[in-house]
């Protein structure tokens, strides 16, 4: 409930201009610019939420503190958004591609919710951590505990869903694999003076700061590489991804669906993170 409101606010903050921000610059495929399928799906999801929110007069009036001028302005934007949404919805190919992409994004959102609830409950059971976090304010601690208690049933339901937990476990592993690749890249770079000078444009202080961190990265990387289960899984995932990319490239020379998905769910995750950050502030 609170999460939904925050999500809507985040979308509104991102502006209602979704209705007119489709001056795409070709098929870049990334989610920032361009008019990739992933971006169009994100735009549609945004438009749907705006339309839905705009249809609730109570919610709109509350949002704009009953300021009729502001409400009328907003309603105009909602109408434009709705027109745009209808036009996009008329494209059956797009609608069907988005259904697939949205389903995966939604599932990733569920993984995020599950992880968040797990962390919250772990925290609620750790008095030391609570006292630090809330600076010994018992009112705040009690409120947090009550909130965690309320998340228990939801969490149990999610944890009891084997489809979801196995999907999330794959996501976690993928994330670890990506992290390993990044640590490797940074560790290599810390040893490459030429690359460092170029990256930091010769700023020696920055070069040194980067190098100072590399010992920590290397330790972390070694620990991860010592996990043979993880290493094997990453290898398998990389092969599968390369295969996917090749197939897609062979088919139409465009970005693979998997890559589009990655980009799109990144956006969803970002939006979700905004909402979660909001609830964390209590």
Report the residue number, 230 or 274, with the smaller CB distance to ligand NAG: 230
Burial 91-117 (b: 16+ CB within 10 A, else e): eeeeeebbeebbebbebbbbbbbbebb
Angle formed at CA 43 by CA 39 and CA 48, multiple of 5 degrees = 150
Question: Min. distance of Cβ 166 from ligand NAG in angstroms?
Answer: 10
Three-class secondary structure of residue 23 per DSSP: coil
Residues 187-216 that bind ligand NAG (CB under 6 A): 192, 194-195
Question: Min. distance of Cβ 157 from ligand NAG in angstroms?
Answer: 7
Element (H, E) at 93: helix 92-124
Residue/partner pairs of 58-64 with CB below 8 Å, 24 or more apart: 63/12
Q: Considering only residues 48, 82, 107, 218, which one is a binding residue for ligand NAG as defined by CB under 6 A?
A: 107
Report the residue number, 32 or 128, with the smaller CB distance to ligand NAG: 128
As a whole number of angstroms, the distance between CA 166 and CA 173 comes to 11
Contacts of 101 (CB under 8 A, 6+ apart): 37, 38, 41, 257, 260, 261, 264
Question: Min. distance of Cβ 172 from ligand NAG in angstroms?
Answer: 7
As a whole number of angstroms, the distance between CA 228 and CA 168 comes to 20
Angle formed at CA 94 by CA 270 and CA 248, multiple of 5 degrees = 80
Residues 34-93 that bind ligand NAG (CB under 6 A): 37, 40, 56, 58-59, 67, 69-70, 73, 91, 93
Question: Min. distance of Cβ 229 from ligand NAG in angstroms?
Answer: 4
Per residue, what are the HEC states of 56-79? CHHHHHHHCCCCHHHHHHHHHHHH
Q: Considering only residues 23, 25, 26, 128, which one is a binding residue for ligand NAG as defined by CB under 6 A?
A: 128
Report the residue number, 191 or 216, with the smaller CB distance to ligand NAG: 191
# chain residues binding ligand NAG, by CB under 6 A: 33
Residue 280 has φ and ψ, to the nearest 5°, of: -65, -25
Asked if 161 interacts with ligand NAG (CB under 6 A), we say: yes
Q: Considering only residues 80, 155, 164, 258, which one is a binding residue for ligand NAG as defined by CB under 6 A?
A: 164
Q: Considering only residues 21, 30, 48, 176, which one is a binding residue for ligand NAG as defined by CB under 6 A?
A: 176
Asked if 254 interacts with ligand NAG (CB under 6 A), we say: no
The residue ranges that bind ligand NAG (CB under 6 A) are 37, 40, 56, 58-59, 67, 69-70, 73, 91, 93-94, 97, 107, 110, 126, 128-129, 137, 139-140, 161, 163-164, 173, 176, 192, 194-195, 227, 229-230, 233
């Amino acid at each position: 409930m609170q999460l939904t409101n925050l999500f809507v606010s985040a979308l509104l903050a991102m502006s209602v201009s979704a209705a007119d921000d489709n001056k795409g610059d070709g098929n870049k495929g990334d989610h920032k610019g361009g008019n990739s399928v992933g971006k169009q799906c994100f735009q549609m999801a945004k438009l749907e939420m705006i339309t839905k929110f705009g249809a609730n007069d109570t919610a709109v009036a509350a949002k704009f503190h009953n300021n009729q001028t502001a409400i009328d302005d907003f309603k105009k934007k909602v109408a434009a958004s709705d027109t745009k949404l209808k036009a996009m919805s008329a494209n059956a190919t797009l609608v069907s591609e988005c259904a697939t992409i949205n389903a995966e994004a939604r599932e990733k959102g569920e993984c995020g919710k599950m992880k968040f609830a797990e962390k919250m409950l772990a925290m609620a059971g750790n008095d030391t951590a609570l006292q630090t976090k809330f600076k010994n304010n018992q009112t705040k601690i009690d409120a947090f505990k009550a909130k965690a208690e309320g998340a228990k049933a939801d969490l149990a339901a999610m944890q009891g869903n084997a489809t979801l937990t196995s999907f999330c476990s794959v996501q976690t592993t993928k994330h670890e694999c990506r992290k390993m690749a990044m640590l490797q890249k940074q560790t290599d770079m810390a040893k490459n003076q030429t690359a460092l000078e170029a990256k930091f444009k010769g700023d020696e202080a920055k070069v040194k700061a980067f190098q100072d961190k590399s010992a920590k990265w290397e330790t972390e990387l070694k620990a991860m590489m010592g996990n043979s289960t993880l290493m094997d899984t990453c290898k398998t995932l990389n092969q599968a991804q390369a295969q996917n990319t090749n197939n897609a490239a062979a088919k139409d020379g465009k970005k693979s669906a998997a890559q589009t998905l990655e980009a799109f769910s990144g956006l969803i995750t970002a939006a979700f993170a905004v909402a979660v950050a909001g609830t964390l502030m209590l």
